[in-house]
Structure 1
Amino acid sequence: MNFSRSIIGVLAMLLVFGAALSSANAADYSPLDCKKASSAAERTICSDYGLGQSEARVATLYGLTTSLVAMGQRGTIQDDQRAFLRQRDACGANAGCLRAAYAARDKQLEAVMQSIQQRGPF
């Protein structure tokens, strides 16, 4: 069991590294650029270390999951991500609302990763 987790971890790291080097990234979501934060939600996320960490984690999990699943499931994950972003932005400057939105999205993406771990990405 630990061996398969190690393999998943190595694959995940390789995918993150590969995605960082790839100019043709299929993902339509990346972490916030706090220098360009324009909405109340974005400014709140950028000013709160914990929310910033949640943003980075969700962005990483999103990138991993969309690169490890089949095209049909990828579309569902992308649709769910767009819905999450609308929900996140609707929170405005309410940090509690933002934390709840990130926690829910993190849980969804973790469930996808658990499914991949159990059956493999192929």
Structure 2
Amino acid sequence: MKDLKFLVLGSLLIASSLNLTHAASFSCEKAKTATEKAICQNRSLNDADVNMVTTYNIVIHALPMGGRDAEKGAQYQWLKQRDSCRANVNCIAQRYSERQKHLDDIVQNRILTQGPF
């Protein structure tokens, strides 16, 4: 269990420390919405997107089935909220901050303490 905790934390640290130049979780070349374009044009939003998606993927793979379904629904609702910001960088940044905090709480309080392991 201890090794898995280090693996999860290590994955998060590596993902957050990589120098990812405009590497959003979606193709910036195919960005359609004002929000997607703003994320692609703003390095801090781009980094927040990559960090959030990395954490989300860890959460989705570590939660049991019922938790996964609930978190997928929460992600869908969050995307709608994020996209309602349009090109407002401060609004988008706030949505990412809120979502990252939620996902980090799941990692800390549910996955690392209770596991599926």
Shift of residue 113 of structure 1?
Answer: 0.3
Which residues in structure 2 correspond to 1:64-83 (within 5 Å)?
Answer: 64-83=58-77
Structure 1 partner of 2:4: 7
- Cα distance in 2, alignment partners of residues 11 and 50 from structure 1: 23
Shift of residue 121 of structure 1?
Answer: 2.1
- Cα distance in 2, alignment partners of residues 116 and 44 from structure 1: 32
Structure 1: which 5+ residue stretches go unaligned?
Answer: 14-29
- Structure 1 residues 9 and 35: alpha-carbon distance in aligned structure 2, compared to 1, 3 A threshold: farther
Indicate yes or no: 2:26 matched with 1:32: yes
Q: Kindly report the root-mean-square deviation, in angstroms, between the aligned alpha carbons of the 2 structures.
A: 1.8
- TM-score, normalised to structure 1, is 0.78
Indicate yes or no: 2:34 matched with 1:44: no
- Cα distance in 2, alignment partners of residues 82 and 116 from structure 1: 21
Shift of residue 120 of structure 1?
Answer: 1.8
Shift of residue 9 of structure 1?
Answer: 3.2
Q: Deviations over 1:43-88 (max 9, x none)?
A: 0000000000000011101110000010000001100000111011
Structure 1 partner of 2:116: 121
- Cα distance in 2, alignment partners of residues 45 and 53 from structure 1: 9
Q: Deviations over 1:7-42 (max 9, x none)?
A: 3232574xxxxxxxxxxxxxxxx8121110010000
